Amino acid sequence: MYPNVDFDSHTYISSLREPFPVSQTLVLQITNPGAEDLPLRNDTGQASFPLKPAETAQPIDGVTLFYLVFPLGDQESDFTTEERFEQMTVTLPNTLNYQRVGKNTIVLFPTSTFSLEQTDLLEILFGNVISMGPGEKMVCIDVFCLDGKTKTNLGRRALYRTAHPLSIGAFQLDRACEKSAFRDHLRFSYAVYGASLSLLTPGDTALSAQYPEEGGTLSVETTIYQPTFYGINAFQGEQMINAALECPLQKASIQSFLGTYTVNQDGTRDVTLKILVENTRHAYLSKIGRIPVTPGQACTTVLRNQSPDLTYTLAVENEEGLIRREVTWQS
C-alpha cells in the first residue's frame, strides 16, 4: 500500500465564459512525504500493458500502476471535454511511462523498478489543456494505486482553475479604414482575454464573448461621425483595463462635377454625369439620393429620359454639414 505517495496538483488557466483555445500546461507532481523510501515496480520492463478502466482494473504482479481519472464533460465541475482530452499531451520524466485507458483515464507506471526517495520529485506535464469551465472553480480527479495484488484508493486531488489574466492582445483599425471620412464604416480587429465583459467606446458596444484562436483576432464595426478616440474597456470583477486608438476624420470635398447630355426625339434628355470627390465614399445626387463613389477616382452616372428643365446638385457630407455643387454642363 502507498498511503504516503502524494500527488500535488497545480493551478491551471481556463475561461470565465467560453472555451479558451490557448493551450495551457497543467503540472502534477508525485512526491513521497513519508518516513521510508517506497519501491515503484516494473519488474517486467514492459512499455505497455492490457489495462482496464478504473472500475474493473486488476493489479498486475510486479508492476506499480497509478490511475488518474478525470471528470469529463461540459459542466462546471468537469476538467474538459472528451474531444479535448484526447488532444491533450503527456510529458513524463524518463522514469515513468503512461497509457490512456478508456475516455477519461491516464495510467502512470515506472519504466523499471526503482525506489522513490523522500527527496524525489516526479513531474507530469499535461500539455494542450483547454478548459471548458469558468475560472475560480475547483475540479477533482480520482487517484488509484495498483501494486502487486493490492488496489488502493489514494483519494481525490484538487485542480484549481483560475481565470485567464485580463489582457487586450490586439486592437487595431483595419488598413482599408485608415483614411476615414464622415459616416464611413470602421472595422476594428481585436483580441480580449480573461474578460467577463468588454465594450467598444464610444457607444458601449458589447464585444463578442468568444475568444479568438491563438494568434488570431475578432472584428467589430462602427460608423464614424467626428474625429474620435475609439477604445476597448475590458472588465474582470473589479479589475478594468483599456486600449485606445485615435481615428482622425478626413474632410470630404468635390473636385469636379461635370455633365453632358443628348436630346431624344420626344424632347427628354439622356444625361451623363462625371463625378470626382475626395475623402469620402458617400455622395448625394439630387433626384437620385446616395450614390457610391471612390475617393480620387472618377465616377460616371447615366440618367435616361430626363426632363429638359432639370438641373443636378451633388453633395458630400462632413461633420459641419453638406458641401454642395451644381453640375457644370459641357457641350
- First-to-last alpha carbon distance for the chain, in angstroms, is 105
Domain boundary among 130, 163, 196: 163
Q: Is residue 207 part of a domain?
A: yes
Count of domains forming the chain: 3
Q: Would 26 be classed as within a structural domain?
A: yes
Residue 275 lies in a domain: yes
Q: Considering the domain boundaries, does residue 140 fall inside one?
A: yes
Domain match, 159 and 239 both: no
- Asked whether residue 43 is domain-assigned, the answer is yes
CATH number of the domain to which 185 belongs: 2.60.40.2470
Answer yes or no: do 275 and 242 share one domain: no
What cell does 50 get? 492490457
pLDDT at residue 210 in the model: 75
Domain boundary among 247, 279, 309: 247
- Statement: residue 14 has pLDDT above 70: no
Q: 156 and 11 share a domain?
A: yes
In a domain? residue 179: yes
Residues 146 and 178 in one domain: no
Find out whether 297 and 161 touch, Cβ atoms under 8 Å: no
Give the CATH number of the domain where residue 25 resides.
2.60.40
For residues 130 and 269, state if they share a domain.
no
Query: What Å distances lie between residue 219 and 22, 175, 209, 210, 222, CA to CA?
Result: 19, 13, 12, 11, 10
Specify the amino acid at residue 26: L
CA atoms within 13 A on the CB side of 193: 19
**CB of 149 closer than 8 Å to CB of 179:** no
| Cβ atoms 261, 219 nearer than 8 A | no
pLDDT computed for residue 81 by the predictor: 87
The pTM (predicted TM-score) of the whole model is 0.60
Is 80's pLDDT higher than 60? yes
Phi, psi of 254 (to 5 degrees): -105, 115
Is the same domain home to 212 and 155?
A: no
pLDDT at 8: 80
Based on the domain organization, do 23 and 140 belong to the same domain? yes
- The amino acid present at 297, given as its one-letter code, is Q
Average pLDDT along the chain: 88
Tens digit of pLDDT for each residue in 94-105? 999 999 999 999
pLDDT tens figures, 144-160? 999 878 888 888 888 88
Amino acid letter at 282? H
Q: In terms of domains, do 293 and 152 share one?
A: no
pLDDT for 135: 67
Strand partners, 280: none
Pairing of the two strands 321-326 and 328-329:
unpaired
User: Domain ends where: 163, 178, 204?
Assistant: 163
Residue 1 lies in a domain: no
Look at 244 and 135; give whichever has higher pLDDT: 244
Q: In three state form, how does the secondary structure of the chain look?
A: CCCCCEEEECCEEECCCCCCCCCEEEEEEEECCCCCCEEECECCCCCCCCCCCCCCCCCCCCEEEEEEECCECCCCCCCECHHHHHHCEEECCCCEEEEEECCCEEEEEECCCEEECCCCEEEEEEEEECCCCCCCCEEEEEEEEEECCEEEEEEEEEEEEEECCCEEEEEEECHHHCCCECCCEEEEEEEEECCCEEEEECCCEECCCCCCCCCCCEEEEEECCCCEEEEEEEEECCEEEEEEEEECCECCEEEEEEEEEEECCCCCEEEEEEEEEECCCEEEECCCEEEECCCCCCEEEEEEEECCCCCCEEEEEECCEEEEEECEECC
**Least confident stretch, 74-78, 168-172, 195-199, 224-228:** 74-78
Q: Are residues 187 and 304 in the same domain?
A: no
The answer on 216 and 110 residing in a single domain is no
CA-based R_g, the chain, Å: 34
- Is residue 59 assigned to a domain? yes
- Strand pairing category for 282-285 and 289-292: antiparallel
- Which residue type sits at 78? D
Q: Are residues 73 and 100 in the same domain?
A: yes
Residues 150 and 10 placed together within one structural domain of the fold: yes
Instruction: Residue 230: give the domain boundaries.
Output: 167-247
Give yes or no for a contact between 7 and 140, defined as CB atoms under 8 angstroms apart: no
